[in-house]
Amino acid sequence: MDSKVLEMRNISKSFPGVKALDDVSFDLKAGEVHALVGENGAGKSTLMKVLAGIYSKDSGAILINGNEVKIESVRDAQRLGIVMIHQELNLMNHLTVAENIFIGREYKKKFPLFLDAGKQIKKTREIFSELNIDIDPTVKVGKLTVAKQQMVEIAKALSYDSKILIMDEPTASLTDSEIEDLFRIVRTLKEEGRSIIYISHRLEELKIISDRITVMRDGRYIDTVKTEEADIDDVIKMMVGREIFVKKQEPFKNEDAPVALKVENLSAGRMVKNVSFHVRKGEILGFAGLMGAGRTEVARAIFAAENYESGDIYINGRKVKIKTPNDAVKAGIAYLSEDRRRYGLALGMNVDENISMANMKKFSKLLFIDFKKSFTNSQMQREKLDIRTPSLKQRTKFLSGGNQQKVVLAKWLTRDSEIIIFDEPTRGIDVGAKNEIYKLLNNLAQQGKAIIVISSELPEIIRTCHRVLVMCEGRITGELIGDEIDQNTIMQYAIKRDINNGRLSS
Amino acid sequence: MTRTSDKPSKKINDNKMTSSIRDRSQIVIILGIYILMILFFFILKPNYLSYDNIMTILLATCVNGLLALGVSFVIFTGGIDISVGTVMTFSSVMSGIALNNWGLPLPLVILFGFLVGAFCGAVNGFGVAKMYLPPFIATMAMQMITKGLSLVVSGIKPIYFTAAPGYQNIATGYFLGIPGFYNAIVILLVIAVIAYIIFSKTIIGRFALAIGSNEEATRLSGVKTDNWKIAIYSLCGLFAGFAGLIMSSRLNSAQPQLGAGYELEAIAAAVIGGNSLNGGEGSITGTILGALIISSLTNGLRIMSVPTELQSAIVGLVLALAVYFDKRRRINE
């Protein structure tokens, strides 16, 4: 039973500017559930995409049942019995369950071009009964719950007679009872001798379902442990790594400063549940958590980029109604999105046009643009923030990430925003420019702006924030101030789901 | 301190620009092709550049030029308006009703026609911005609505403007008495300048481009993009109203069955002028050039006795080639 069905040896993979995988090895036994854990960007998904034929590796070897194989496409992987079930399911909502399962290899009748729908449905029923799943093969996939859709994906994988299933965060959007159903199916698959690679952030879940846990960090293999012998705290330590020396943010001195923004019981959709917090003038408040914890959604709800269901927002102690981004901007809130190319900039427009975008009323009289006033301001911002561009006429799509970010910031400073929300402020920005952004954050705080920093990079949080809120699955699970802020503690709060009075459950 | 205070003002000079001709090279290329085309016809038929023929070409540009100017603003936002042809007809039909049935004085009749056009545009904008209809669908509905209403209101008969004696002169009278120099040409010129100013000097033009470039980022900057879209579609409708005036004045009547097909020629003019249907960029100068190219081409072909049916085919070919070369140029960028 201990035979290795899969071995990945010394896999390396680089993307322009990043070494995503550095000499990573991984193996999988028959009938095993092998969990793969790590922080955002640790390389789990990249490794699995190499295995599933989505990315090609730069070096290293992949062995199936002891024989080296070439995997250059998803087809190759499928032929070898490897199928990846992505977090975002790849099903066609308007087709039926059976049509989805046999898409691209439909059963045909003798007469060409005619489909044998009956046989397809019969085959689908066989797979379902094997897995003990109760889904009607003729129903349209779009009508199924996410959990059922996931089962269809699994059934589809089995229809290829896959021996190795890769599941990426399979429980991310499931309810507790649905998770139980999923685990039941996973166990059935195990008994049939199939192997499963299970990527998840939920460590307590791995305790239940997995046999071994492999930890990755920064594109490298760290260690593999047997689940029954593993200590969750040790696993977390391995995920975070040895404490790298990060210069911590100085403590917040002005604790009596007025509260600039207070949010009470904010709820929005699935991702934001009863979130309450405040931030003072001159304070930098961090939002930490894993991807999908709901941090961006909190920001977007406050800014009314998305509708929120309930909750109260107070600016400078006064309750405000924010229904559109226009209301938010008027209330003095600025939001710098994690995806500035999509939500921050009009890329085809020039630097000046982008900087003045949020404040055209100030830069126009009776609809006519006051070009001089706008240019003067843009030029002032350009010097103040050190925006490096050949001219204010340069289209923003030709600027570097750091300078683009500064243009977005200049837009909000032009508007005199008092509460500035930075969502992943340094994503896609090189190291030198990162330091500049951090300096800017401190300067803004010293000027009395209330700053919120949402970041998935723990060193960034530690370095910039006076106070940190940790989110997990839509809730705030912990608040850390001053010395309490360190990578380990943040990760503990980011992963655990069951919270009693803000304390960890185990 | 003095250094920092006078530095910006110095910089302003080399940043002096309006957002209109973002891409001068593109306009230069289109202009170059236009001149080559004129030369081609001129060499084959020297008569092509006679004073009378030039005026004929300019007069023929008027209706399409006005429609194209209006639809350009919508195209800058990344939208499309395929109702301008029938909205033009509807506004002139309504003008005729105002004159003949309601007995309004001529200035009010003209103003009413403009308002009808602007109102149709506003409804288009409302459908797009507030009802989330795709621009193509919203304006297709308007196309069918105005087409139907024109026929119903007029009883499928032309409505004559004979009750207002000076009406025909609005378009076909001579400007300052200069023979051949039609008023309509002056009107097109004036309105083109106004459109240019709206586009390059006002926030309407700025936001049209911003919405076309990245609507969500614009909205998240606190700009009320919905309202601006309604304003821009209304502007487009207003220009269709202008076209309606010229059209009905030339014919001295409102022809309820006319109108369909004009919208496509207007869009073609905007596109030949180098405006991308994806929005976010473009120029009014380009649109005017595009309208001139179409009318000059059609005129040249007619002089060379190319059958009408074939003329349309050749304009279509020019349209496809224009977009093809523009795409290639963009990829090379």
Q: Is A358 in Cβ contact with B15 (below 8 Å)?
A: no
- Taking CA atoms, what residue in B is nearest to A347? B213
Cross-chain residue pair B219–A383, CB shorter than 8 Å:
no
Residue spans of the domains in chain B: they are: 22-32+51-332
Nearest CA in chain B to A356: B221
What are A467-489's pLDDT values in tens digits? 999 998 899 999 999 888 988 88
Q: How confident is the model at residue B4 (pLDDT cuts 50, 70, 90)?
A: very low
Q: Do B217 and A343 touch (CB under 8 A)?
A: yes
User: Does A347 contact B224 at a Cβ distance shorter than 8 Å?
Assistant: no
Query: What are the two backbone dihedrals, phi and then psi, of residue A398, each rounded to the nearest 5 degrees?
Result: -90, 5
Q: Quickly list H helices, chain B.
A: 2-14, 24-44, 51-76, 84-100, 106-129, 135-154, 169-172, 183-201, 203-220, 225-251, 262-272, 284-303, 308-332
Q: Chain A residues contacting B, CB < 8 Å? A: 303, 305, 324-326, 328-330, 335, 337, 342-350, 352-353, 357-358, 360, 364, 367-369, 371-372, 375-376, 379-380, 383, 391-393, 411, 415
Average pLDDT for chain A: 88
The answer to whether the CB atoms of B223 and A360 lie below 8 A apart is yes
Q: Which of B184, B188, B187 is nearest to B68 (CA)?
A: B188
Pairing label, strands A212-217, A59-64? unpaired
Inform me whether the pLDDT recorded for A252 exceeds 70.
yes
Q: Which residues of B266-303 are buried (b: 16+ CB within 10 A; e: fewer)?
A: bbbbbbbbbbbeebbbbbbbbbbbbbbbbbbbbbbbee
Give the list of residues 6+ apart from residue A51 with CB closer than 8 angstroms, or none: A6, A8, A62, A71, A77, A82, A84, A164, A166, A197
- Closest-CA distance, B111 to chain A, in angstroms, reads 22
Question: Do A261 and A315 touch, CB atoms closer than 8 A?
Answer: yes
Q: What is the pLDDT of residues B264-280, one digit of tens each?
A: 999 999 999 989 888 99
d(CA B162, CA B145): 27
Given pLDDT bands bounded at 50, 70 and 90, which one contains residue A243? low
pTM of the model: 0.79
Alpha-carbon distance of A335 to A267, in angstroms, equals 19
**Nearest CA-CA distance, residue A343 and chain B, Å:** 4
Whether B219 has its CB under 8 Å from any CB of chain A: the answer is yes
Q: How far apart are CA B155 and CA A92, in angstroms?
A: 50
Nearest to A326 among B12, B216, B222 (CB): B222
Question: Three-state SS for A75?
Answer: helix
Closest CA to A296 of A342, A340, A341, A338: A338
For chain A, say whether B14 makes contact (Cβ under 8 Å). Answer: yes
Position B21 scores a pLDDT of 39
Q: Is the pLDDT of residue B12 over 70?
A: no
Strand order in the sheet with A164-168: A82-85, A164-168, A195-199, A33-37, A212-217, A220-226
| Span B175-214, pLDDT tens digits | 999 998 999 999 999 999 999 999 999 999 999 999 999 9
The one-character DSSP state at B177 is G
From the list B17, B216, B218, which residue is nearest A393 (CB)? B17
Q: Residue A139 pLDDT > 50, yes or no?
A: yes
B22-32+51-332 belongs to which CATH class?
A: mainly alpha
Please tell me if the domain spanning A4-240 has the same topology as the one spanning A249-332+418-499: yes
CATH top-level class for A249-332+418-499?
alpha beta
What does the alpha-carbon distance between residue A309 and residue A436 come to, in Å, rounded to a whole number? 37
Q: Which tokens go with A206?
A: 């791995």
Instruction: Write down the domain spans for chain A.
Output: 4-240, 249-332+418-499, 345-415
Residue A421 pairs in a beta bridge with A335, A452
Token pair belonging to A281? 């003038």
Contacts of A343 in chain B (CB under 8 A): 216-217, 220
Interface size between A and B, measured as CB pairs under 8 A: 103
Rounded to an integer, what distance in angstroms lies between the CA atom of residue A275 and that of residue A80?
47
Q: Which of residues 151-210 of B touch A (CB under 8 A)?
A: 201-204, 206-207, 209-210
Name residues whose C-beta falls within 8 Å of residue B109's C-beta, 6 or more positions apart in sequence.
B95, B98, B99, B164
Tens of pLDDT, residues A205-239: 888 899 999 999 888 999 999 999 988 888 888 88
Coil, strand or helix at A450: strand
Q: Is domain A4-240 given the CATH code 2.60.40.3080 in the classification?
A: no
Average pLDDT of the residues in A435-461: 92
Cβ–Cβ gap B11/A375 under 8 Å: yes
Supply the ipTM of this predicted assembly. 0.86
